[in-house]
Amino acid sequence: MFNPDKRLIPAQPPKAGFAAGPSKLDAIRSVTLSLAYLPLARPISDAKVLTGRQKPLTQVAFLFCEITTEAGHSGLGFSYSKRAGGPGLYAHACEIADNLIGEDPNDNARLWDKLCWAGASVGRSGIATQAIAAMDICLWDLKAKRAGLPLSKLLGAHRDSVACYNTSGGFLSSSVEEIRDAIDHSLASGIGGIKIKVGQPDPMVDIRRLDAITTHLDGRVPLMVDANQQWDRTTALRFGRLVEPLNLEWIEEPLDAYDAEGHAALARELATPIATGEMLASAEEHMALIRADAVDFIQPDAPRVGGITPFMRICTQAEAKRMRLAPHFAMEIHVHLAAAYAHEPWVEHFDWLAPLFNEELEIKDGRMIVPGRPGLGCSLTGQARDWTVETKSFGG
């Protein structure tokens, strides 16, 4: 019990951990941030558009980060935003980037914390963490390049290729005929799974499209569906029961992204695996899913959760729960992170980002080959530079 006669011992805050000590191996010389817009060939719609919540997607904003060090090493990282958010990511990153100048680039975890504290007033999720993500991913790319290793090998790989599926042909803005053609094209190019969008205002429209597509696919590769959070719990359960005989690989985002309890109930009720997590914007938000046993497949997105440092923390927890991993989007980063995950994962193939990078990812026999080049194995094209609308350098 508290005794007012006793003198209180003042709390001693930890002194270590806010600056690199004598083990400092290198120093960050410059940080360059760029905001670029990748135009899409045609407007894209998922269920969020058909329910009136969003407009069709016409472009993707990218925050690129390039870092150089005194010892002559360099890295490239990126974060992104669909629809609103690109200028916000860039502005927040510009406000905090000079905290990296002079720091040891090897101290990834400490630097993540330092950047987070620099912007702590605006929270530890969303734009704040996604601005940090570009810098964090850049520092991991730099570390792997310094080691002369692909990022997957630096992290500790389980495999040198990852099963990959394709989404980009299965949007609700595509007709059944267009989806059939896209499936044929995907399978011919070596893709190992197909995902199509569902979640229309009338679920029976989804069922009729799904029936036509499963007939066409005829079990050649696994099939996934993605409702983009547009069902309530009852609709999700009814739909899930209706499609149980199809042996889908998973049902993705059947419910609101933050409804961990609802996903957990659905996962218990259905034999079809449940997947979600792409919209969550921090490691802590993923912990809510993991604690609730809400998913069979967890779907973190490294740029969205704040980079590779928080992504690996999510993986540690998810591995312990024997969850499988299917990261969202950004295959250029996620092929490495999935290769380092314990339980057989999937990686999502999107060809949208191809114009941004000089290197192509190889697909063979249903799997994406992890690049053997050091780091992420990506460099920016002249086209990516041409699409850059703002750039700012720090240090140097």
Chain residues in the site for Mg ion (CB under 5 A): 226
**Cβ 252 to Mg ion shortest distance, Å:** 5
Number of Cβ within 10 Å of residue 188's Cβ equals 8
Output 225 or 368, the one with its CB closest to Mg ion. 225
Output 136 or 226, the one with its CB closest to Mg ion. 226
Active site residue 48: no
Output 104 or 253, the one with its CB closest to Mg ion. 253
Q: Which residues of 329-357 are buried (b: 16+ CB within 10 A; e: fewer)?
A: bbbbbbbbbbbbbeeebbbbbbebbeebb
Of 45, 84, 95, 94, which is closest to residue 61 (Cα–Cα)?
Answer: 84
Contacts of residue 236, defined as CB under 8 A and 6 or more positions apart, other chains included, come to 227, 251, 254, 255, 262, 266
Give the span between the Cα atoms of 77 and 385, in whole angstroms: 14
Give the span between the Cα atoms of 289 and 311, in whole angstroms: 14
Structure tokens at 260: 């961990």
Active site residue 197: yes
Answer whether 286's CB lies under 8 Å from 298's CB: yes
Output 277 or 371, the one with its CB closest to Mg ion. 277
**Cβ 111 to Mg ion shortest distance, Å:** 30
**Cβ 47 to Mg ion shortest distance, Å:** 10
- Look up tokens 């250029």; give the residue: 332
Q: Is 31 exposed, middle or buried, given 0-12, 13-18 or 19+ CB atoms closer than 10 A?
A: buried
Output 171 or 394, the one with its CB closest to Mg ion. 171
Output 206 or 226, the one with its CB closest to Mg ion. 226
Q: Is 261 left (phi over 0), alpha (psi -120 to 50) or beta?
A: alpha
Structure tokens at 284: 């802590």
**Cβ 146 to Mg ion shortest distance, Å:** 34
Of 121, 118, 117, which is closest to residue 94 (Cα–Cα)?
Answer: 118
Ordered alpha helix ranges (H), 36-173: 47-50, 86-96, 108-118, 126-147, 151-155
Give the span between the Cα atoms of 217 and 186, in whole angstroms: 11
Secondary structure (3-state) at 260: helix
> Looking at 48, 114, 197, 263, which residue is catalytic?
197
Q: Which residue is nearest to Mg ion (CB)?
A: 226
Output 146 or 195, the one with its CB closest to Mg ion. 195
Answer whether 191's CB lies under 8 Å from 366's CB: yes
Give the span between the Cα atoms of 387 and 357, in whole angstroms: 13
Output 26 or 350, the one with its CB closest to Mg ion. 350
**Cβ 206 to Mg ion shortest distance, Å:** 15
**Cβ 64 to Mg ion shortest distance, Å:** 24
Of 281, 385, 361, which is closest to residue 38 (Cα–Cα)?
Answer: 385
Catalytic residues: 197, 328
